[in-house]
Structure 1
């Protein structure tokens, strides 16, 4: 346990710096790959009436990756799954970027999304176990926020696509991903396995965990994920194009700019106010912002500047909510259930995500707005209940958090 104490309370060592750098870089790649479904809809061989299947690959792939790889990360090790997820979204992206056939494109998107789906629970678990308590929340928020920068870059590429041919756009994207993923493979082979997992694997990994003892934590995280996953970029990708159909790429950039800035703001305040209050602030703030969006739609729906301002603020609170969620996801479950717990909490949200692609397809703008408010309200209610009954995690060891 002395080794664990050195991790929890010691200064950052060279391996931990390597973990932070490689994790940040992997999140940049994560964002670039995450942008591929949206970008692929601009390619000439993709029929417009098939867009729904492209976007359906995201929740389906995420569900498979979360459940399968999330569980394997608890039984076979964090580092092994890092290699697997990297190979999956690397292979999937390669297939997507060389495809000239819709079915091949869908196959590539599905494989890449399975990789991304398994990446997040594994990465969050690993970071929470290997970073000192003093820096844990900061590193969790900072590294995952880099994904927003990746999506922002993808949006800018899409915005500038008119200056390039489709073939040039795909070629430059392909070269960038091949170089990035090759470098990431070297990084991931160099980082050590989670010490906490290695200590626990002989003693507890094979033991059964009683889900009923964790139901409140699973309910809490499920509600937060429903709010963040189903509202992510809803204003930018769905409602915005209804109102300003020629500005889709600009809306995506403005929203992700708000998300990127929101992540860095989160770094400065979460440790000051604590994860419990920060969660309430983030989810109730997002709920209130959506009420103002409804007021804007009723009284000034054609005023672009006002919509862009609200879109930017929504991006800020979207990232605050994400930061609150990723700060809590990996730390409130025990080591032998940590990645599995994250995966289970994501199951219902992504099933709803897949279903919403169909049942929300016929919504008008006001229905989308009401839907968005309800989703934020689900997260807001859960955050209030956690504030009352949950555990404050700032500056506490993982073992202590799970004993409270």
Structure 2
């Protein structure tokens, strides 16, 4: 289907056009989207610090996050391949804002669980669709940097939310007011910008002019799915349990501090080096990131007694791991949309991420009420999986840095 001259002309025009107002509008929209996504990503663990939430609800509040993300990534990713990116953009912003608004206004733990699921469902699908949309429309010259920097905005908002909970302690009012402001302002900014967005030109042309074909099961596609799934497991589970869930499960009194400190290193790495990372070879960035995380975690376990002697040493080690984690996160944000074809891109990204969120859900049951030693050794296995995935991709995967997405 790629012998189509008309489509190849469209690809060439999209890949090599000069940055324009539409690109700026897309960038603005995605920045607001990923900021809200980071808020939603961090909110479940932070909610467990609210005094009116019974302790036995912590596990279920935390579970509602990956459950919503899994459902949203897979279902909405698939639907976006069938019906387009723009229609889903409007649905996801309503779902996410409604979930955040409900969290800000209610105190019932059961309704909070439902609200977290709703917000995560919307943002899970939104991230998949956003990555597809960006990779299909942003000029090739800027594609990597835009994918890295916009997705890193999620880390920025995690740090912001953790700071609010950390530096204004024991103030549910301030927490809920922050969520209310973010939900309302984020909704209107995203909605207004999204109404002005056009449908993905690549998707629109292929949807109208070609017949969707089944994905071939061969060595190349199998290795691609396996390696990207391994990478997704490490980012989804490794980041969640080393930064977001570690506090509620092991150090409840330090939950906000752990999220703030451990995420700060990766966030600054993305802000400072995101443009360079986006221009770099994906295979190198991926291998460096996942190897670095694995090595840091080995060192943490070798000196485990020293590391656990002081909470600040533990946070420092996780923050250093987070610097390499940002490289892993960035490579994943680029490799996923760049590896799948347009009519299967949402489904492909969603499927890979579904594997990660499924392991996340299982991990909650495996790690709740376990000792810190079991917890940290379990994460070593998770980082080993990512290291193996990056090696597999380095050896067999396709370098996508200068490639036009199909």
With normalisation by structure 1, the TM-score equals 0.93
1:364 is aligned, of 371, 392, 397, to 371
Contact 1:241 1:248 in 2 (8 A): yes
Corresponding position: 1:322 with 2:329: yes
Give me the whole-angstrom Cα distance separating, in 2, the residues matched to 1:206 and 1:60.
29
Give me the whole-angstrom Cα distance separating, in 1, the residues matched to 2:90 and 2:75.
15
Aligned equivalent of 1:274: 281
Distance verdict in 2 for CA 1:136–1:167, change over 3 Å: same
Aligned equivalent of 2:180: 174
Unaligned runs of 5+ in 1: 400-404
CA RMSD across the alignment: 2.0
With normalisation by structure 2, the TM-score equals 0.93
Aligned equivalent of 2:215: 209
Corresponding position: 1:199 with 2:205: yes
The alignment partner of 1:202 has SS state of helix
Distance verdict in 2 for CA 1:206–1:273, change over 3 Å: closer
Once the two structures are superposed, the pairs formed by residues 67-78 of structure 1 within 5 Å of their partners are 67-78=74-85
1:377 is aligned, of 384, 389, 396, to 384
Corresponding position: 1:99 with 2:106: yes
Aligned equivalent of 2:196: 190
Contact 1:233 1:255 in 2 (8 A): no
Unaligned runs of 5+ in 2: 1-7
Give me the whole-angstrom Cα distance separating, in 1, the residues matched to 2:328 and 2:158.
17
The size of the alignment, in residue pairs, is 398
Residue 268 of structure 1: how far off its partner (Å): 4.7
Distance verdict in 2 for CA 1:359–1:245, change over 3 Å: closer
Distance verdict in 2 for CA 1:23–1:75, change over 3 Å: same
Give me the whole-angstrom Cα distance separating, in 1, the residues matched to 2:248 and 2:340.
40
Once the two structures are superposed, the pairs formed by residues 281-320 of structure 1 within 5 Å of their partners are 281-320=288-327
Corresponding position: 1:140 with 2:147: yes
Residue 354 of structure 1: how far off its partner (Å): 0.7
1:398 is aligned, of 373, 385, 405, to 405
Residue 317 of structure 1: how far off its partner (Å): 1.4
Once the two structures are superposed, the pairs formed by residues 98-117 of structure 1 within 5 Å of their partners are 98-117=105-124
Contact 1:128 1:331 in 2 (8 A): yes
Distance verdict in 2 for CA 1:188–1:227, change over 3 Å: same
Distance verdict in 2 for CA 1:248–1:104, change over 3 Å: closer
Give me the whole-angstrom Cα distance separating, in 2, the residues matched to 1:273 and 1:179.
35
The alignment partner of 1:289 has SS state of helix
More displaced 10-residue stretch of structure 1: 322-331 or 367-376:
367-376
Contact 1:243 1:301 in 2 (8 A): no
Give me the whole-angstrom Cα distance separating, in 1, the residues matched to 2:194 and 2:310.
48
Distance verdict in 2 for CA 1:313–1:9, change over 3 Å: same
Contact 1:141 1:266 in 2 (8 A): no
Distance verdict in 2 for CA 1:245–1:104, change over 3 Å: closer
1:158 is aligned, of 147, 165, 184, to 165
Residue 153 of structure 1: how far off its partner (Å): 0.9
